[in-house]
């Protein structure tokens, strides 16, 4: 029996996907849950598993090609029979076929296909099949990926699965033996180290094509193209305007220093941004139009206060920005906000954020203060009605109680949708935000 694998819809806005790479080839045996391909959506690159046991009888869409959601991309034979033919652009014909891939999975941000790596000269294990194409290692796609990520040479692996197949447990055992024996793992394929060698400079991991006269062009990933489209749409369809206010940061920095000293034994370190998220969330509860979306002939006032935090991705992950969402931020304390923000940042720069991590934001904060930026403006992230751009807490001459002293001040600029929020409402919100930030003890209760 043939089971069709179609291009899944891995995000709510996804209309097409690109096969970044196949983790299997025709003739490979797969089990339910095996990740057979990495698919680039409009938001990230995500793993695509299968839900059937069988053999990959045909791969229809080659790596690097973009096809619409629902397009037939591969076929699995679950009874050992090979499919005679398949139309490259055919859609799934049965509910069972459409359900052969998971609808949503946490994204894995990737930028390059696997690269060949040298392995130590060791005896080959018995987990090798010989067919008309020559020797072929019997290894599950998941085990192959784990070996690549853990730096375990395939030549060191021997299989304990059915028919000598190498499975996940075999890779983990080999990695443990390597650590115990003091053997350094090989750099993961596609990693900065693998691309440049130890001590080498890292190049941007995007396809670059020379166009003459010393110039070149970089092919944008699907995610970068989506970012470009949405920013143009936001700037051209939303009537932006900006309002800026300065905040006295001395009380907040003093409280933060004291709390971090007390919380250090527990491994907790609060950032300035954690306080800003908390202060914005409390102010949003008091000013509901900052927790709203424009909907043509009406404005939707949201119930939950969900704050999106802009996270930059490193060049080796393709660059760009993603927005991780802290749900019900007004109900979270500083410690919970700090933990949630750190987890989102680590996940975004590691495995990647899933749809549940990026959906539902009602307000966004972009903070460039850690880069030394004093002031900037940001573009609204639809369907939000506002975004706050925060600069750094800069030490400078300031007037306090009619005296010229040295203090820390931060500039923050709101970009606003004038269809939802007018100038007076913006001023009232910033007044509340200033009260929260300059009296940080109120953020603890």
Closest to 438 (Cα-Cα) out of 407, 416, 417, 397? 407
In angstroms and rounded to an integer, the radius of gyration of the C-alpha atoms of the chain is 26
Between CA 126 and CA 163 the distance in angstroms is 10
* Count of beta carbons in the 10 Å neighbourhood of residue 235: 12
The answer to whether the CB of 398 falls within 8 A of the CB of 411 is no
Residue position matching structure tokens 């750190």: 342
Closest to 352 (Cα-Cα) out of 168, 104, 175? 104
**CA 203 vs CA 171, 208, 231, 337, 363: distances in Å:** 30, 10, 26, 34, 34
Catalytic residue, candidates 240, 302, 327, 418: 418
327 is an active site residue? no
What count of residues does the chain have?
A: 445
State phi, psi for 107 to the nearest 5 degrees: -75, 150
Q: State both tokens at 250.
A: 């001395």
Q: State both tokens at 292.
A: 């709203």
Q: Which residues are catalytic?
A: 418
């Amino acid at each position: 029996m043939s089971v069709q694998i179609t291009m899944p819809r891995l995000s709510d806005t996804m209309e097409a996907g690109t096969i970044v790479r196949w983790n299997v080839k025709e003739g490979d045996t797969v089990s339910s849950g095996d990740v057979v391909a990495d698919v680039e959506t409009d938001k990230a690159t995500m793993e695509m598993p299968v839900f059937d046991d069988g053999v990959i009888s045909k791969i229809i869409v080659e790596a690097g090609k973009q096809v619409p959601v629902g397009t037939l991309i591969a076929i699995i034979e679950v009874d050992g029979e090979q499919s005679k033919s398949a139309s490259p652009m055919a859609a799934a014909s049965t509910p069972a076929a459409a359900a052969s891939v998971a609808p949503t999975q946490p994204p894995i941000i990737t930028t390059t296909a696997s690269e060949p790596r040298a392995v130590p000269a060791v005896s080959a294990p018995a987990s090798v099949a010989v067919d008309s194409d020559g020797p072929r290692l019997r290894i599950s796609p998941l085990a192959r990926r784990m070996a690549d990520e853990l730096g375990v040479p395939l030549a060191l692996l021997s299989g304990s699965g059915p028919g000598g197949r190498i499975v996940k447990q075999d890779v983990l055992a080999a990695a443990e033996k390597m650590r115990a024996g003091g053997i350094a793992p090989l750099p993961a394929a596609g990693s900065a180290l693998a691309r440049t060698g130890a001590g080498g400079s890292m190049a941007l991991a995007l396809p670059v094509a020379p166009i003459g006269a010393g110039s070149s062009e970089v092919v944008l990933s699907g995610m970068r193209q989506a970012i470009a489209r949405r920013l143009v749409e936001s700037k051209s369809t939303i009537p932006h305007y900006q309002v800026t206010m300065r905040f006295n940061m001395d009380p907040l920095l003093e409280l933060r220093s004291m709390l971090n000293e007390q919380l250090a034994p527990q491994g907790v370190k609060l950032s300035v941004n954690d306080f800003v998220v908390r202060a914005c969330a409390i102010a949003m509860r008091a000013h509901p139009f900052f927790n709203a979306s424009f909907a043509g002939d009406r404005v939707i006032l949201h119930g939950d206060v969900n704050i999106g935090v802009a996270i930059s991705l490193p060049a080796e992950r393709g660059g760009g920005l993603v927005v991780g969402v802290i749900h019900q931020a007004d109900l979270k304390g500083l410690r919970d906000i700090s933990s949630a923000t750190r987890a989102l940042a680590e996940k975004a720069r590691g495995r990647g954020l899933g749809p549940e991590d990026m959906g539902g934001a009602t307000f966004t904060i972009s903070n460039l203060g850690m880069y030394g930026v004093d002031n900037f403006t940001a573009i609204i992230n639809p369907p939000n009605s506002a975004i706050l751009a925060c600069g750094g807490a800069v030490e400078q001459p300031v007037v306090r109680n009619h005296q010229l002293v040295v203090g820390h001040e931060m500039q923050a600029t709101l970009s606003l949708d004038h269809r939802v929020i007018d100038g007076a409402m913006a001023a009232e919100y910033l007044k509340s935000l200033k009260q929260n930030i300059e009296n940080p003890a109120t953020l603890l209760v």
